[in-house]
Amino acid sequence: MSSFLIQRRPMVLRALIALTVMLLLLALNPAAGSAQSCTNCTLYARTELNLRQGPSLDAAVLRFIPAGAPVHRTTGAESKGYAPVTYEGVSGWAVALGFVATPAEIDAGAVPSAPAPAAVPASAPAATSEIRVTLAPLMLRSSPTVDAEPILVMPEGARLTLTRQGAENGYVTVDYDGVTGWVYADLIARQDEIG
């Protein structure tokens, strides 16, 4: 019995982390709760999102949904934190908490804004297009999986820089205050997208 539990530990840990992230996002954006309850309605992406083939971080990415883009929330229950949606005629799954009910909720600051920008060290100049902001407290991980060793926790609104060294399983490589690692791409956005 104990070997069965040891084998299932990564799966249980992954589910607990996903649930924690979803609850944090819902607590930080109560308006998202009303957006999640609709079916056969139009919702708007609060940040850049991946449209995936299935309700999983491991599912293939079918399309990229830009921030502010309208999607049709199709009928069907959420699964593992993903909602069934259609974007530009392509049906798939996207992170359910990544949507709001109206475009005004994005413009009015439904997504928490970042603190004043931190100075970028002269040794690591970054183009503005490479700067991203975390939408919620977010783990910087050692590799591109939900059960990878955490390096540190970045606060909501933390500024980080895309390193473009890797993109895999929905994760991208970033630099945060001189520390590099992997973050889940659907939970970061360009600063100009969040007001």
Q: Which domains does the chain have, with CATH numbers?
A: 2-107 (2.30.30.40), 128-193 (2.30.30.40)
Strands, sheet with 171-176, edge to edge from the N-terminal-most edge strand: 150-154, 138-141, 179-184, 171-176, 159-168, 131-134, 188-189
pLDDT at 54: 92
**Torsion sign across C-alpha atoms 114, 116, 120, 126:** positive
pLDDT of residue 124: 44
Confidence at residue 72, expressed as pLDDT on a 0 to 100 scale? 95
- At residue 50, the pLDDT reads 85
- Work out whether the CA dihedral 81, 187, 145, 150 comes out positive or negative: negative
* pLDDT score, position 71: 95
Say if pTM beats, i.e. exceeds, 0.75.
Answer: no
Amino acid at 75: T
pLDDT at 18: 57
Instruction: State the Cα–Cα distance between residues 38 and 194, nearest whole angstrom.
Output: 23
Q: What is the pLDDT of residues 118-173, one digit of tens each?
A: 433 434 444 557 888 888 788 899 998 878 898 998 988 899 999 988 888 778 89
What is the number of residues in the chain?
195
Q: Which residues of the chain have pLDDT under 70?
A: 1-37, 107-128, 193-195
- DSSP summary character for residue 93: E
Q: Within 10 Å of residue 35's Cβ, how many Cβ atoms?
A: 23
Other beta carbons less than 10 A from residue 157's beta carbon: 18
